[in-house]
Amino acid sequence: MVMMKKDVFYDKDIREPLFDFLEDSFGKVRILEEKRTGSARADVVMITPDYLYGIEIKSDADTYARLEKQVKNYNWYYDRNIIVVGSSHAAHVKEHVPDWWGVITVEADENGAPDFYVMRHADVNPRVKDKRKISILWRTELNHLLEENDLPKYKNKSKLFVQEKLLEKVPGEILWKQAYEELFERDYNTIAEEIETYRMSRRNAL
């Protein structure tokens, strides 16, 4: 009996096809890669108009060794979380993540390309912390939210102070939609200029 060689997908094989799958599945999305998440790093952050998703990729070459710590950090920061796993992990992945995590498996199609299957849809994360989630925003983005909600500029206050004021003054159903729109519009090409402009404004205010 001839055994077929098992297809093994590495992280680099999964990412781009996964992003196409997510866009097809969720519609309007923005993908950010390798985002610092507490003491861990999220492989993928997906912004939608209503939710912030953390997505962890465990390829066939990965193990679950760091997953417990990663799950803890993801749960603090994101409205919903998804783990994407190679087929070698599919049988046991649900034992390693909370029930509210979505699970997507990766298998080879007839051409040997990655094919994605939703084993379980992501549900609301009951452990997300607003103070952690809002820390994802840059200071310039927080300033836009202050302006949009007719709040003082707080030029001489810390980023943490501004985060807390926004959480205190703006209802969540308004704040988070605005925040996710900021993330949709985030421009990594202009951030250095925006930071320098903000620093200059602070120096001039002193």
Residue 114, helix vs strand vs coil: strand
Owning domain of residue 55:
11-120
CA 27 to CA 51: how far, in whole Å? Answer: 13
Helix (H, G, I), strand (E, B) or coil at 59: coil
Q: What is the pLDDT of residue 204?
A: 58
- Average pLDDT, 10 consecutive residues per value, the chain (206 residues): 56 93 95 82 93 93 87 95 91 92 92 92 97 94 96 93 97 97 87 61 58
Asked if residue 15 lies in contact with residue 57, where contact means CB atoms within 8 angstroms, the answer is yes
Residue 42 shares a structural domain with residue 143: no
pLDDT of residue 139: 92
- Is 73 in the same domain as 146? no
Do 24 and 74 belong to one domain? Answer: yes
Q: Is residue 4 part of a domain?
A: no
Q: Clarify whether residues 135 and 39 are in a common domain.
A: no
Domains: count for the chain:
2
Cα separation of 36 and 42, whole Å?
Answer: 6
- Picking from 1, 71, 5, the residue whose alpha carbon sits closest to that of residue 42 is 71
Q: Which CATH number do you get for residue 72?
A: 3.40.1350.60
What tokens were used for 199? 């620093």
Tokens of 178: 């605005």
Q: Is residue 79 part of a domain?
A: yes
The answer to whether residues 75 and 133 touch, using CB atoms and an 8 Å cutoff, is no
Which amino acid would we find at residue 50? Answer: D
Q: Which of 86, 120, 154 is the last residue of a domain?
A: 120
Task: Give, as one character, the DSSP assignment of residue 130.
Answer: H
